[in-house]
Amino acid sequence: MPDMTLLYVVVFFALAFDYINGFHDTANAIATSVSTRALEPQYAVMLAAVLNFTGALYSTGVAKTIGGDLVKAASLVNQPVIISALFGAIVWNLITWWFAIPSSSSHALVGGVVGAVMVGAGYEAINFAGVEKIVLSLILSPLIAMIGGYIIMIAMMWIFRKQEPGKLNAGFKKMQLLSASMMSFSHGSNDAQKAMGIITLALLSSGQIPSLEVPLWVKFSCATAMACGTAVGGWKIIKTMGGGIFRLEPITGFAADLNSSLVIFAATNLHLPVSTTHVVSGSIMGVGSSKRLTAVRWGVAQQMLFAWILTIPFSALTSALMYKFLSLFMHS
């Protein structure tokens, strides 16, 4: 199979990953506003799609981190390695979507890359310092979001302590349009860049571009793929995120979205990939805990945590097996 054909396959798989990421993670942006009936589902999804697209064009810092920090040099990986990495991430995303489990597309992609590179290029090709930085940002971000959500909700309860709850929630139902918009933009600014980084790495490793700079067509194609995926809507996971963790009201939904968008946008500006699923889940748990600890359905949270722990090893193993299969196919 000619190298350019393999490069086209990489682009296809990367855009498929972005599309699946879009409908898998739609819940992150709109679950709170849909569950509190602040926005009609169809309007919420279209709002998320448009702002995901806009956010995806914001910067390329996260793309460069994904493309440059996971492996020591682009020349050490080939197209079958990258195809295998994307395959492992896609399989895990589809499994967790089918069972309505909110899981991290970012974790799946990192696991996929590590598994495929280890088998295809060896341990020495992996930039362990870069992997450690990325994994650390993925682990710390939901903890920061949980603490931030708790603090923001406590502050809001104190500020509005004299307000009548009914009127307060009516006002925040309107404000959720703003928080959902912020959440959608920040989601696009971080998540769409992961596929951009993988395509750019593939272009660099095949000699199609001279440096790790994201071409304009890659930015637009990844932004479009994520927006189209978002427009389809991941209704299964929306139910889990919107009410499975904690019963949200407009004021708590606003607080969760506001906190999540601030954490994700800060990570984007620091060029760090984070899991929007983990950040939003952390925010909802933090906001819920501010009411009382028993308000959070920790059983659902435990199931999600178990899925998160499995994500990297499962996608790594799947990618490794896919690389072995491709190797047999190409040498036959």
DSSP assignment of 77-98: --HHHHHHHHHHHHHHHHHHHH
Both tokens assigned to 181 = 């918009």
In a domain, 9, yes or no: yes
Which residue segment(s) compose the domain that 189 sits in?
3-324
pLDDT at 2 (0 to 100): 46
In a domain, 331, yes or no: no
Rounded to 10 deg, the angle between the 105-120 and 298-331 helix axes is 30
Both tokens assigned to 171 = 């006002």
pLDDT at 266 (0 to 100): 95
- Rg of the chain over CA atoms, in angstroms? 20
- CB distance 323 to 119 below 8 Å: yes
In a domain, 110, yes or no: yes
In a domain, 90, yes or no: yes
State how far the Cα of 130 lies from the Cα of 105, in Å rounded to an integer.
18
Compute the CA torsion angle 272, 137, 300, 228 (nearest 10 deg): 10
State how far the Cα of 285 lies from the Cα of 288, in Å rounded to an integer.
5
Candidates 49, 9, 171, 26; CA nearest to 102 is: 26
Distance of CA 313 to CAs 52, 92, 318, 319, Å? 29, 10, 9, 10
pLDDT at 1 (0 to 100): 45
Sign of CA dihedral 67, 88, 48, 241: negative
In total, how many domains does the chain have?
1
Sign of CA dihedral 186, 191, 195, 201: positive
In a domain, 213, yes or no: yes
pLDDT at 112 (0 to 100): 93
In a domain, 330, yes or no: no
Rounded to 10 deg, the angle between the 165-205 and 3-35 helix axes is 180
pLDDT at 82 (0 to 100): 93
CA angle in degrees (0–180, nearest 5) for 324-328-332? 170
pTM: 0.86
pLDDT at 215 (0 to 100): 95
pLDDT at 320 (0 to 100): 94
Average of per-residue pLDDT values in the chain: 86
State how far the Cα of 105 lies from the Cα of 24, in Å rounded to an integer.
8
In a domain, 329, yes or no: no
In a domain, 308, yes or no: yes
Distance of CA 22 to CAs 93, 243, 291, Å? 11, 20, 31
Give bridge partners of residue 71 from the DSSP assignment: 126
Where the chain has pLDDT below 50, the residues are 1-2
